Each structure stands twice: as structure tokens, then as C-alpha cells.
Amino acid sequence: MTPPRICVVGASNIDLVSYVPRMPKIGETLHGTQFAIGYGGKGANQAVMAAKLGGEVAMVTKLGRDIFGEDTYKNYEAFGIDTTGVTFTDQAFSGVAPIAVNPEGDNSIIIVTGANDVLNQDDLEAVREIIAASQVLVCQLEISVETNLAALRLGKELGVQTIFNPAPARAELPEEIYGLCDIFCPNETETELLTGMPVTSMEEAEAAARVLMQRGCKMVILTLGERGSLLVSDDEVVHVAAEAVKPKDTTGAGDAFVGSLAYFLAAGKPLQDAMHRANKIAAISVQAPGTQTSFPDAKDLDPDLLA
């Protein structure tokens, strides 16, 4: 059987993770308890998650000609990800993301995008055939809006289902981008920033999603952390609850959800079923430290989850 095919256009970063007793105040020097280096970037994370589940994944990204870029490339190869669209530039260093994680598992992240900013439409055209052969195309906001628009336009032209994850959060997006994505998938913070509306209840979350749909979205899936996810479309509103777990590190949980969602949709699962399964994968990820290192491998999952 042919594996589900997913193409991810997005950022590659190196995560520099410090575990701290609490978040530092402005101007404060704080002793951490542990340090780790990991592979990250929202696009990279989502690609690795889909690959870990068994997807045939292609990554389109830009790396700097430095040790971080070289190691990131090797990491993609280690997961069996198609690196045809992974290219290098001399114009910038590879992207980095210093992360602070407190004992409750909450995190604070600074992103320096670097080489990711150089990814452009020419890079996308070079992998047109790879995108065309994919069942799902995934994009996020750690690369330029212009490159996202070009990728989503290409996906629409080629008839590929598109998921747009508007992360990291920003207050405004071009109107065109809403109409280009089949699934618009923000979290609570991103939804509040884009709409200026709270999402503290399911009713508020639905109202905010309706605002996004008025801008052109066909369908909105809000990720709500421990509350699971909410599907809002013209035809239905469905809350898919999450399993209650004790989080150790929530870094990358949203990427685990998006990467899993893309995998299950590419595998032909109905949308609500795909959301339910993606919720479970995300819940597993928050119970382990790190980002990609917290993502479960297919062999370690209940076979029913992947059936």
C-alpha cells in the first residue's frame, strides 16, 4: 500500500532549550536546571511528526551553510524525509529558537528565522512535481507571508488539500490567504490575535472561528490545548475532546497535532476521526521533554490508533 504523501513548506530551526525554575523577569539572570539542543522549526516539526507516523514526507525549506544547517539536513535524512526541496544559502545563518521551559511544562520561545527568510517562490517551482504528487500540503508563518501565499496558490492550482497553521501568531494576514487554505488551523493565542476575540469557552471559540470564515476560510480547526480541538464549518460545529494527561513539556504540541492531522487526512481518514487521532498524538507528545524527541514513533503507538 502506498504511504500517505505529505509536503511541508516551512521553517527549520535549531531549538536551544533551557529548563528553568520559573520564567525570568526583564533584566534578570536566572540559573537553569538543564540544557538541551534539539531540531525544530514549525515546518520541520510537522514534517517529522508525519514521517514518524509512516508518511512519505517531502520538506521544502532553506538552511544556512553552518553546522546547524548541516546537522538539520542529516536529521531530515535520518527520518527518511525527501530532501529534494531542502536547499542551502550563504545569505544567512540557519534559524534558531531559544526556548525556556518551566516545571509546569509551559514555554517561552524566541525565534530568529535566519535562512528561512530566504525561501522563495523559485524554490517552490523547483519542487512543483513533488507538491503535485502530495495529498496534503502544510504551511505555517515562520517563513515569509509571500512564500506562504505562493505555496498555497500552487497547492490550489495543483488540486492538493492545504492546511495553513498561522503560527507564530501575528495580528494581520493578507485577505487572500484565508481563501487559499482548505483548513485554517490556529491555536487559542493565534485566534485571539487575529480576531481580537476571546476563546475562553466553546461558544467564544466558535464565534471567533466564524469571523475567520467570513474572511474566506472554508473550514477552521482551533487547537485548544487540554480542551482538545474545535471544528467549525458551514455544515457543522464539532468539539473533539482531548484525553486528560499531566504535561511535562508542551513545546511542539501544536506541531504534533498539525503533522498528525496532515498524515491522517492524507491516509484518507474522515476529518473528525483525523482530529481525534491527532488529539491523541499531541497528548502523548506533551508527556515527554523536547519537541521532535517527544513525538511518538508509529511502532510505540497502539495499533488501533494507526489502523
User: Annotated active-site positions, please?
Assistant: 255
User: Backbone phi, then psi, for 155, in 5-degree steps?
Assistant: -60, -45
Are the CB atoms for 184 and 166 separated by under 8 Å?
yes
Phi, psi of 234 (to 5 degrees): -65, -30
Amino acid at 225: G
User: How far is Cα 129 from Cα 132, in angstroms, rounded to an integer?
Assistant: 5
CA atoms of 249 and 47, how far apart (whole Å):
20
The answer, yes or no, to whether the previous bond of 168 is cis (omega within 30 of 0) is yes
| Closest by CA position to 307, among listed 261, 268, 253, 271 | 268
| Residues facing 165 on adjacent strands | 140
Nearest to 278 by CA among 50, 54, 76, 79: 50
Q: Does residue 138 come out as left (phi exceeding 0), alpha (psi in the -120 to 50 range) or beta?
A: beta
